Structure 1
Amino acid sequence: MRQTAETTSFKDHFSSHAASYARHRPTYPPQLAHWLAGIAPSRGLALDCGCGTGQLSTLLAQEFGQVLATDASASQIAHAQAHARVRYQVAPAERSGLPDASVDLVTVAQAAHWFDLPPFYDEVRRVLRPQGCLALITYGVASMEGTPGALLRDLHDRVLGPFWPPERKLVEDGYRSLPFPFPEREVPSMELRAQWSLDELMGYVDTWSALRQAEPKLGRAPYEDFRRRLGHAWGDPATKRDITWPLRVRVGCMP
């Protein structure tokens, strides 16, 4: 189910490629949703803010009776994955529209670095039930073995380094430098994993915000050059290669 609402202005790096984002972004491990549900006071309602196209929202729906998934981008919501227990809504993270003390768990996956954090944290305090929890989730730079991995890192760090938004540094340090005014809990080690063909990896790379920022100056040259070099190193394009992303989670719970 999808609803729309008026939103405030926000840094929008993804709406123009929302369909590609939905197809090519990696999925979170089921272990993450299961662990988060286990620390929540109950499994009634989860609020997934900055939900994008619902990668985490649908996983949470396997653990909670209902999930409200909000995003400021109407395009992202339009391309979100349908699920019977997920209600999608175009709304800023700072204004969920939910009643006070109604939520067991608030999650933000790969989006907290775009938020206006002080009013967002105020909203979290308002909607969380006693002992309810907030989880800020992010994953870092993808890694692969061998020459393909070295080429991927070179594209990320050297070729596109000047074009990453400043907020990208927050992702790479696992949100450790973000203010987090909640008593924190220890989180088990987890990571994202995928086995992708050459085309699947290229689809993921094409969702990078740095590519969007580079296009006015460099066009599609960085992407096409990377595909050519990666193709030589990959071999059979249909070959599936292992890719991992470090998963970082900060969790705090209300008293």
Structure 2
Amino acid sequence: MKDNFSTQSSSYAKYRPAYPQALYEFLKGKITENGTAWDCGTGNGQVAGELAKFFKKVAATDISNQQLENAVKRPNIQYAVQRAEETNFQDKSFDLITVAQAIHWFNFEDFYKEAKRVLKPNGIIAVIGYSLFKSTPETDAVILKFYNDIIGSYWDEERRYLDEKYQAIPFPFQEIETPEFKQEYQWTFDRLIGYLKTWSAVKHYEKEKGENPVNLIKNELKTAFGNQNTIVFPILLRLGKLED
């Protein structure tokens, strides 16, 4: 699993979008027990923090200690630095496993083997994420040009799984049908710029060229977006249980 985010863990926690409450309510309605959940690749702990509201105990893991230091703190969340593919959890430990905006970095085969080992027989696994946001047509045009033409070659290969809306990833579970979710915000221009600077491809570009590529589109983006505008993230979700 790659670690692209340790060096910017505080920015990641500050600027990354959250998931809609409707998604958590949906998951809450699908679980049969609310004893223990595992949030794998927890990052800044945003999902773990929400799960902690309706689970008695949440185990949250990541390979980045810096991320965990900036993570949401709750009495019933236990954070640990562990690889997704190999943990010290006991067999059949969890009623729910969540992986948010992280599974594309994992070794699929090894992670799924581990997930099946630690999931309870009636447990659920939820693979969550979000794809490229939408805003005004003018803003979308600037962002698409930036995404594809300026930093396109700096995206890690795994990014394509998000562009494919997680539909192309292996998912060896009995799939549960899910509705569509989206997360909508009113963002200031500065908030948008802060978010763009957390993109891994932006960091790769900056490391190689010594300048932040977001600055190349800043003026054009400001004209398109204005001081404040609507941002909509399409939410990705694959939900499953152990195959009979």
TM class by smaller structure: over 0.9
Q: Given residue 176 of structure 2, which amino acid in structure 1 is its aligned partner?
A: R
Q: How does 1:1-255 map to 2 (within 5 A)?
A: 10-235=1-226, 237=227, 239=228, 241-254=229-242, 255=244
| Structure 1 residue 177 displacement after superposition | 1.2
Q: Given residue 166 of structure 1, which amino acid in structure 2 is its aligned partner?
A: E
**Structure 2: stretches of 5+ with no match in the other structure:** none
Identity among equivalent pairs (%): 38
**Counterpart Cα distance in 1 of 2:139 and 2:210:** 23
**Counterpart Cα distance in 2 of 1:152 and 1:81:** 30
Q: Given residue 251 of structure 1, which amino acid in structure 2 is its aligned partner?
A: L
Deviations 1:99-121 (A, max 9, x none): 21120000100000101111211
| Secondary structure at 1:42 match in 2 | coil
**Counterpart Cα distance in 2 of 1:215 and 1:130:** 46
Query: What is aligned with 1:6?
Result: none
Q: Given residue 64 of structure 1, which amino acid in structure 2 is its aligned partner?
A: F
Q: Given residue 204 of structure 2, which amino acid in structure 1 is its aligned partner?
A: Q
Name the CA shift for 1:234/1:117 in 2 (closer, same or farther; >3 Å).
closer
Contact kept? 2:62, 2:68, Cα under 8 Å: yes
**Counterpart Cα distance in 1 of 2:84 and 2:146:** 32
Deviations 1:48-88 (A, max 9, x none): 00010012111111221111110011111111111222211
| Secondary structure at 1:167 match in 2 | helix
User: How many residues are treated as equivalent by the alignment?
Assistant: 243
**Counterpart Cα distance in 1 of 2:11 and 2:112:** 30
**Counterpart Cα distance in 1 of 2:23 and 2:59:** 18
Deviations 1:3-24 (A, max 9, x none): xxxxxxx311111011000000
Task: Give the RMSD, CA atoms, in angstroms.
Answer: 1.4
**Counterpart Cα distance in 2 of 1:217 and 1:122:** 36
**Structure 1: stretches of 5+ with no match in the other structure:** 1-9
Normalising by structure 1, what TM-score? Answer: 0.91
Contact kept? 1:70, 1:96, Cα under 8 Å: no
